Amino acid sequence: MAKASRWNIRVNNNCLFIDDVLSSRVVLQHNARPGLRPYIHPLRLKDGRSCLTEDSPWHHPWQHGISTGFHGVNNCDFWLDPGQDPSMIIGTIEPKTPKILSMDPPKWSIEAKWYHANGSELLAEQQTWSLQEDNDYLFLDLDWTLQAIPDIHVAQDEYGGLFIRMPFRSKIDTKVLNSTGLQDAATEQQAAEWLSLHMPLENNEFGGGITVLDHPENPQHPTKWRVDHQRGINPAPCIPSAIDLAAGAVLNHRYRLILHEEKLAAEQINNLCATYKNS
């Protein structure tokens, strides 16, 4: 008899949901509502109770769980939400309804167009995600593609690309570690193959963490990382230099997010990273 799937994946009201059948809870919600960039929130650990993401915190209201964006795309901003800063030219990201690609393991994609504030099309985006269970971890994999419609210039900036906002409340017991051994604030804008963030969580005495692996085929691997004061983390390909794409050119990045309860040691992460490199 075939093993019953732990997951149920469904789409409703422009959002994709992954239900954990064992806990009867939504473990992941991917929002793709009109006029707002796609973002993942909530995202929970395997226990089904502990939420790893935060949406629109007071200190950075434009940050939404797990999302993508850039500053300065042909002089138009795609990091803030439309209307958040009247002094800036802010574009709009319009996602399509998520597509389910596989039920077990869950795999899905979201397409979106990036529009300049003047209405012109700038980028075609495709995010392909999958969720896998492995012993004590959940693996959330992203294959992220941006295709230039006209010639594109993305400004050099300390933020840009894939961004992760966990529910930071205090620096106490919040730890950051990267593949070179640097910790906490010392990881800011430093190149690393991976970066691990762990912090206290509600409903979990051990807290929880997200470790992000930068795939070796990504441009400028190992990437440089933005690690802000509230411990938002961002493998940012635009830190070293601006990004220029000719019309029709494609920019592709792959990442693996490891969702874990207890802190991971560097040796554990290196072993997990070696497996990912060969995938």
Residue-level pLDDT at 47: 86
Out of 62-71, 198-207, 245-254, pick the least confident.
Answer: 198-207
| Arithmetic mean of pLDDT, 201-222 | 95
Domain residues for the domain of 37 are 7-277
Residue-level pLDDT at 132: 95
Q: Each residue of 77-117: pLDDT tens digit?
A: 999 999 999 999 999 999 999 999 999 999 999 999 999 99
Structure tokens at 58: 């007071």
Residue-level pLDDT at 135: 83
Centroid of chain to Cα 133: 18
**Is 241 among the domain residues?**
yes
Structure tokens at 250: 């494609």
**Is 240 among the domain residues?**
yes
Confirm if 51 and 44 have CB atoms less than 8 A apart.
Answer: yes
Residue-level pLDDT at 172: 86
Residue-level pLDDT at 1: 45
| Arithmetic mean of pLDDT, 43-65 | 93
| Arithmetic mean of pLDDT, 128-156 | 96
Residue-level pLDDT at 111: 98
How many structural domains is the chain composed of?
A: 1
**Is 2 among the domain residues?**
no
Residue-level pLDDT at 278: 84
**Looking at residue 163, which CATH number applies to its domain?**
2.70.98
Q: Each residue of 80-90: pLDDT tens digit?
A: 999 999 999 99
| Arithmetic mean of pLDDT, 200-208 | 91
Nearest Cα residue to 96 out of 17, 12, 32:
32
Instruction: Collapse the DSSP code of 265 into the 3-class scheme (helix H, G, I; strand E, B; otherwise coil) and give the result.
Output: coil
pLDDT band (50, 70, 90) for residue 22: confident
**Is 15 among the domain residues?**
yes
Q: Tell me the pLDDT of the chain averaged across its residues.
A: 95
Q: Each residue of 218-260: pLDDT tens digit?
A: 999 999 999 999 999 999 999 999 999 999 999 999 999 999 9
- Whether residue 122 is predicted with pLDDT greater than 90 in this model: the reply is yes
Residue ranges of the alpha helices (H) in the chain?
266-277
Nearest Cα residue to 28 out of 1, 51, 2:
51
Distances, alpha carbon 256 to alpha carbons 11, 75, 148, 160, 195, in Å: 23, 30, 24, 17, 11
pTM over 0.85: yes
d(CA 256, CA 270): 13
| Arithmetic mean of pLDDT, 137-158 | 98
Residue-level pLDDT at 2: 55
- Whether residue 40 is predicted with pLDDT greater than 90 in this model: the reply is yes
**Is 1 among the domain residues?**
no
Confirm if 67 and 53 have CB atoms less than 8 A apart.
Answer: no
**Is 118 among the domain residues?**
yes
Structure tokens at 218: 């990504």
| Arithmetic mean of pLDDT, 146-158 | 98
